[in-house]
Structure 1
Amino acid sequence: MSKMWKNRILSFLMGICCFFIGVKTVFAQHEKNFPKITIPEIIPQSDKINYLATHYWDNFNFQDTVFLTQPAVLNKAMASYLQVLAMASQKISDASWYNFVEKTQASQPMFSYFAIVLKDYLYHPDSPFRNDDYYLAVLNALIASPKATRAEKERAKREKQSLLKNTIGTKVTDVVYTLASGKTGRIYDSHTPYTLLLFYNPGCHACEETLAFLKQSQVINSALSEKELTLIAIYPDEDVSAWRKYCDDIPATWINGYDKNTRIWKEELFDLRAIPSLYLLDADKMVLLKDAPASVIESYLNNQK
């Protein structure tokens, strides 16, 4: 895991912790503990994590709204649960997750609370637990639930529409970019086995870290020199003068352009929750990795050799 990604994870967790540390209620004297489960001794060691994922919420009463006065308890339980899912088998994790989402609907206050918390955990661009598929299940539940308010449903519909743009396994939306020379190009003009899209802003701290990583990556540079990869850097905002001043910082082996008509933002063509944002495409412009860290993209390309 790269230093940049570790810092993003640390910042996210510190933000969550600071929020909940600041929460104090009159119910403190009646603090409840999260009801953990006991794994039977008969369960083989190799199956214990799957058992825990399946039964994690068995003893929790989703109608007990007293827990809503103790967000720190629920926050800790949720973080632990997501860690368990990450270690369990995919089939078990998915089944457990969809069962959990259904259980949260036992009461409207509990359902609304989890919907807010899960947005931070699963949808926030810097969250170490980010999972678009799991968050999509939450959004679908909100949209279908009679317990959700109209405002919650409308928000969920908007987020779902954004979430489903350029998902893994779909063809990427083509975009016209303009070069410093005034010439234009399109994403689909790339004819290498892989295409890496980088949406960035000149000078932003996270962008600087990502650009530095990509510039120094032997895997990326080797793929570029061997014509296995095309790297297209696109500035999606309006300050073209700032972009022009920054052009010298972009390697000559990259394609560096800007969105002249700012269609990316105006038409919300991509789910850009944060900048920078990286998309890895195959030869047919199918999305292989969506909004992935540079280190993950490097590892993916390295494994294809």
Structure 2
Amino acid sequence: MFARRLILFLLTLSAIIGCTREGRRTQTYTDEEGVVRLLPPAVPAGEQDSMAYLLDHYWDGMSFGDTLYSRDEDFVARALLGYRPYLSAGDSAHRTEAVRSLMSRAEVDTVAYVRLMDLSEELLYDREYYDEYLPFAEAIIESDFPSEWDKVRPQEQVRSIRLNRPGTLANDFEYVTLQGDTARMSDLRGVPLVLFFYNAPCHSCGTRADELGESPVITSALAAGSLRILAVDKWGDEESWREKVRSMPKGWIHGRNYKDFDSMELYIIDHVPTIYLLDSEGRVLLRDTSIEEIGQQLTSVD
């Protein structure tokens, strides 16, 4: 990252301010607070889907050869944030095509391209706007313009986004029960299932488990048999695990698996506890979710 920033700095110093290799300048306007922004196009009269039109044409006023603006991090960040609502409104295929065209245009200037790469990660991926970020990562991977090294992070991010994505069938796994038997997560299908991944020595995991056990919606569903909770210890010795189980809410199913969750092979577990909600057929409803979201989901189903 330092090397990339250094290259950006050196290239920026060598740029001629206002250079317009595309033969035109970026179209801007100044808002009421004095901030310079990209001028979005006017939607033609009679256009029935203004959001779709702006998904395709929002960047028409941007000249990526105009380095005064295309290399200005704050300016491009404002433009990208302004573009996000149109990304959100578009379907997957439309987003993919629009962003592919955008990134292709940015190839006119290496610094501008890298700036857009970095900002899409910072403002979309890091903020968990995964659907909006995915077409940027895919465009970077598919293009011959960036180096293979530059594609490594987007490739990992795409894999992360697609892994157990809501709407997909959750990866199955084995776990060892308190009785020492081997069971499978898929055996619990038939009613919605909460997956509670934790580490036995983790204090905050116990706190979050208590909060789950105190949720009226969740405890009511659990008592009615319309919900199951599988708590899986992914790190800790067996004695610590058994001790932890004794302090966790009643009615949960407990297991441990110390070999399948240390990487992204099956599930994304960047922190503990990590909670998923699956539907009765084992499809992901909520990924890395909260107790509040689970309660809302269960209530909406009812």
Aligned residue pairs, count: 271
> 222-231 vs 73-82, which deviates more?
73-82
TM value normalised by structure 1: 0.72
Contact 1:104 / 1:110 at 8 angstroms: preserved in 2?
no
Match of 2:272 among 242, 250, 275: 275
Match of 1:197 among 178, 184, 195: 195
Letter in 1 for 2:61: N
Aligned twin of 2:124: 122
Q: Percent identity?
A: 27
User: 1:50 and 1:152 mapped to 2: Cα distance?
Assistant: 30
Contact 1:163 / 1:271 at 8 angstroms: preserved in 2?
no
Contact 1:192 / 1:227 at 8 angstroms: preserved in 2?
no
User: 2:206 and 2:62 mapped to 1: Cα distance?
Assistant: 45
Does 2:260 match 1:263?
A: yes
Alpha-carbon shift at residue 102 of structure 1 (Å): 2.5
Match of 1:293 among 267, 271, 290: 290
Alpha-carbon shift at residue 263 of structure 1 (Å): 1.5
Aligned twin of 1:104: 103
User: 2:271 and 2:262 mapped to 1: Cα distance?
Assistant: 12
Cα distance change of structure 1 residues 215 and 72 upon mapping to structure 2, 3 Å threshold: farther
Aligned twin of 1:11: none
Secondary structure of 1:234's counterpart equals: strand
Alpha-carbon shift at residue 183 of structure 1 (Å): 3.7
User: 1:229 and 1:104 mapped to 2: Cα distance?
Assistant: 45
Secondary structure of 1:236's counterpart equals: strand
Aligned twin of 1:34: 37
How big is each residue's C-alpha offset from its partner over 1:157-192, in whole Å with a ceiling of 9 and x where there is no partner? 333333322223332211122244434322112143
Aligned twin of 1:155: 153
User: 1:292 and 1:180 mapped to 2: Cα distance?
Assistant: 26
Alpha-carbon shift at residue 241 of structure 1 (Å): 5.3
Alpha-carbon shift at residue 302 of structure 1 (Å): 0.8
Cα distance change of structure 1 residues 239 and 159 upon mapping to structure 2, 3 Å threshold: farther
Based on CA coordinates, which of the two structures has the bigger radius of gyration?
2
Letter in 2 for 1:60: M
Match of 1:224 among 219, 222, 225: 222
Contact 2:165 / 2:287 at 8 angstroms: preserved in 1?
yes
- Greater RCO, CA 8 A, separation 6+: 1
Does 2:71 match 1:74?
A: no
Alpha-carbon shift at residue 231 of structure 1 (Å): 1.0
Which structure 1 segments of 5+ residues have no match? 1-22
How big is each residue's C-alpha offset from its partner over 1:58-79, in whole Å with a ceiling of 9 and x where there is no partner? 3222333444653233333333
